[in-house]
Structure 1
Amino acid sequence: MSPETGLRVVVTGATGNVGTSVVKALGDDPRIDSVVGLARRIPAMTARKTRWAAVDLAADSATDRLHELFAGADAVVHLAWRFQPTHDPVITWETNVLGSLRVFDAVAAAGVPAVVHASSVGAYAPGPKTEPGVDESWPTHGWPDAAYCREKAYLERVLDAYELRHPEIRVLRMRPGFLFKEGAASEQRRIFAGRLMPGPLIRSALLPVVPDLEGLRFQVLHTDDAAQAYRLAVLGGVRGAFNLAAEPTVDAEVLGELLQARVVRIPRQVVRTALSTAWSLHLAPASPHLFDAVLRLPLLNTARARSELGWQPTWSSTEAIEEFLRGVRRGSGEPTPPLVGRKAG
């Protein structure tokens, strides 16, 4: 694959938070001739150089369809992921793990020279919460109690074996921190807070306190910046894993400033018990196991992405969060089935 020639790229999960940004970034690059965006449902949105195709990765019929769509592609960017339902991990496993296996097998069968897989900070084993953070050699065992982390870690093991079987394929694993943009705000509210939580509640007058929890330090990245890293991964000759995150690291103090709220030290178990009760009663969609994982995830060192990909975030982490909060309050969303904007309350 030569960056001097026009490239054909296929993107799975192209209508989600990351996918919509990736197809735009690819379409804006003159070295990309065409993009095929795959999703379970065809969206109303348009993107430069992009045509859409419907594929459900959880279905057995996806195998033949993927072989057809991948034929002649120069790279596949694999973003498809299902976060819900957290109460039925078999359903997410069918899409996230079995669907990914179909994608990887189809890449090899079609002779695609490169696959860029959306891994995550969630694939990492618990680690230090201090700068400069862990590099890409940190163990990717995940937090076993959280389905999201368990599935991301499992696919890391799958790709370890896959690279040994297919050394001719350039395999890249992107491991970003938490990704936010205004156009995905409504979806993320529905996924993590629930459909009934009114967006206008997320303002300082109604959220006067931010809990200061042990381990509450994490990294954020604007989704459009992550998309640029994916674009560079497609075009470059590199392979392997890349951590992606922006500065500054987010903690209770940073959140308190963003929300103009008072920071109060609260025992972790108090919050965990409340989340567990809400989740058990189906009042909150995000599981307490994911809460446990977030408080244990290591901070990321992004030196490799900056030096080998030539990547640099243009948004700070606080700017990304501010845009997300604005989107939640407005009910913002992009014209795709997952991201469609909707206010609650």
Structure 2
Amino acid sequence: MSTHESLRIVVTGATGNVGTSVVKALSEDPDVASVLGLARRLPKLSIPGVAWGTVDLSREDSPGALDKHLAGADAVIHLAWRFQPTRDPVVTWQSNVLGSIRVFEATVRARVPVLVHASSVGAYSPGTKDEPGVDEEWPTYGWPDAAYCREKSYLERVLDTFELRHPGIRVVRMRPGFLFKEQAASEQRRTFAGRYVPGALLRPDLLPFVPDLEGLRFQILHSDDAAQAYRAAVATDVRGAFNLAAEPVIDAQQLGDLLDAKVVRVPATLMRSALTAAWHARAVPASPHLFDAVLRLPVLNCSRAHDVLGWQPTRTAQEALSSFLRGVRRGTNDREGKWAPG
């Protein structure tokens, strides 16, 4: 990045799990002149070298604020995403899909030359659970029953058209697996398990067993490692999609070893019925549709990120998951106070 010493980078969703890692990684890069983190609300969070701004992407009047914030930017990293409420997909569509389109359009108006978009493994159509996994050419039609996958997949189609209309803008799509870190664990627990499931329950002596479900194989990446891939995408003259994940692939046995719990084969239909009942009772916020999607997610082949970006994760999948579990038990939250290293 030595030839881009005056880079000004804008990051949407900058106070989230990945956002805090991205703005920190950028702020520590000597070739980045300034970082502007955008969020719906100003955080009680201090990261040296990072300025903050507010914008609500779900609002129809947000383009005015976006134009102001993006003026003079050299790159936009679009991370903003709303996971809840799963019971009202219109709300998440307005924020995630329409909000993302507003960011894309503002990028054009502000003549920003680089757009890095946070896609996901959830954008992919069901595929193999075996290694070496699917590459970036695998279809991105998602799992249609899950709002998260529909929205991520729809934005892939939007970007297909965007790239054709605006070939002068370098577009990069990141498709990571599940992203975890200790500092965001408390927020993630509330988002997916709900406020009524205390983190202290995730103790080995309180877990009767880990369910071994057909299709339960997924990939994990530490949020700080994902941040380095985003930084590299800005610094390197690359385009297109990149799969991001750490090794090994996580399955029930890996979870059992991490939690020191017995692994028991359980029919997926039984687990889904229990989750459906809990969701309808509003005991958990994660929908059974997302459960269906997780069991169908393909294993990712990340060779392109290694070869083209020169990126390698520094933590294993077990280390990332252990960090998350430690944060859940401690109730760690990085939205307030000064940044604490992971």
TM-score by length of 2: 0.97
- TM-fit CA distance, 1:49: 1.8
Question: How far, CA to CA, are the matches of 2:66 and 2:54 in structure 1?
Answer: 10
Shift of 1:2: 7.2
Give distance in 2, aligned partners of 1:235 and 1:208.
47
2:27 matched residue in structure 1: 27
Distance in 1 between residues matched to 2:219 and 2:34, nearest whole Å: 33
Distance 2:68 2:178 in 1: 33
1:335 Cα deviation from its structure 2 partner: 2.8
2:248 maps to what in 1? 248
1:190-222 residue CA offsets vs partner (Å, 9 max, x unmatched): 011000111111011111200000000000000
User: For 2:116 and 2:83, how far apart are their aligned partners in 1?
Assistant: 20
The aligned residue for residue 59 of structure 1 is: 59
Residue 49 of structure 2 aligns with which residue?
Answer: 49
Take 1:243 and 1:47, find their aligned partners in 2: how far apart are those partners? Answer: 28
Equivalent-residue separation in structure 2 for 1:40 and 1:62 (angstroms): 11
Q: Does 1:88 align with 2:98?
A: no
* Amino acid in the other structure paired with 1:202: L
- Consecutive unaligned residues of structure 2, counting only runs of 5 or more, are none
The share of aligned pairs that are identical, in percent, is 67
Q: Is the 8 A contact 1:186 1:332 kept in 2?
A: yes
Task: Describe how 1:127-166 pairs up with structure 2 within 5 A.
Answer: 127-166=127-166
What residue number does 2:320 align with? 320
Query: Do the aligned residues in 2 keep the contact of 1:212 with 1:252 (CA within 8 Å)?
Result: yes
**3-state SS of 2:45 partner:** coil
In 2, distance between residues paired with 1:3 and 1:208? 56
Partners of 2:2 and 2:31 within 8 A in 1: no
SS in 2 for 1:45: strand
Query: Is the CA contact 1:242–1:302 (under 8 Å) kept in the aligned structure 2?
Result: yes
Q: Do structure 1's residue 298 and structure 2's residue 273 form an aligned pair? A: no
Q: Structure 2 matches for 1:192-271, cutoff 5 A? A: 192-271=192-271
Counterpart Cα distance in 2 of 1:4 and 1:106: 22
Q: 1:208–1:260: 8 Å Cα contact kept in structure 2? A: no
User: In 2, are the aligned partners of 1:3 and 1:235 still within 8 Å (CA)?
Assistant: no
The aligned amino acid for 1:19 is G
Match of 1:106 in 2: 106
Quote the residue 2:282 is aligned against. 282
Tell me which residue corresponds to 2:77: 77
- What secondary structure does 1:20 align onto? helix
Contact 1:77 1:116 in 2 (8 A): yes
Deviation by residue 1:130-176 (Cα, 9 ceiling, x = unmatched): 00010000000000000000000000000000000000000000000
Q: Aligned residue pairs: how many?
A: 338
Give the match's secondary structure for 1:205.
Answer: helix
Distance 1:129 1:276 in 2: 25
CA drift at 1:318: 0.2
**CA RMSD, aligned part only?**
1.2
Shift of 1:336: 4.4
- Determine the C-alpha separation between the residues in 2 that align with 1:46 and 1:133: 39
Distance 2:208 2:254 in 1: 14
In structure 2, how many angstroms separate the alpha carbons of the residues matched to 1:20 and 1:4?
Answer: 23
* 1:286-329 deviation per Cα after TM superposition (whole angstroms, max 9, x unaligned): 00000000000000000000111010000000000101000000
Structure 1 residues 49 and 294, CA gap change in structure 2 (3 angstroms): same
Q: What displacement does 1:4 show?
A: 3.5
Equivalent position amino acid for 1:306 in 2: H
Query: Which consecutive residues of structure 1, in runs of 5 or more, have no partner in the other structure?
Result: 340-345
Residue pair 1:181, 1:320 contacting (<8 A) in 2 also: yes
Partner of 1:36: 36
Deviation of 1:121 after TM superposition, in Å, equals 0.2
Q: What residue is the counterpart of 2:170 in the other structure?
A: 170
Shift in Å at residue 50 of structure 1? 1.1
For residue 302 of structure 2, what is the amino acid of its counterpart? T
Whole-angstrom CA distance in 1 between matches of 2:32 and 2:63: 25
| Counterpart position of 1:342 | none
Change (3 A) 1:194 1:3: farther
Amino acid at match of 2:23: V
Taking the aligned partners of 1:3 and 1:275, their CA distance within structure 2 comes to 52
User: Following the alignment from structure 1 to structure 2, what is the Cα–Cα distance between the partners of residues 156 and 271?
Assistant: 31
C-alpha displacement at 1:61, in angstroms? 1.6
Deviation at 1:281, TM superposition (A): 1.1
TM-score (norm: length of structure 1) = 0.96
Give the aligned partner of residue 343 of structure 1: none
Secondary structure of the corresponding residue to residue 122 of structure 1: helix
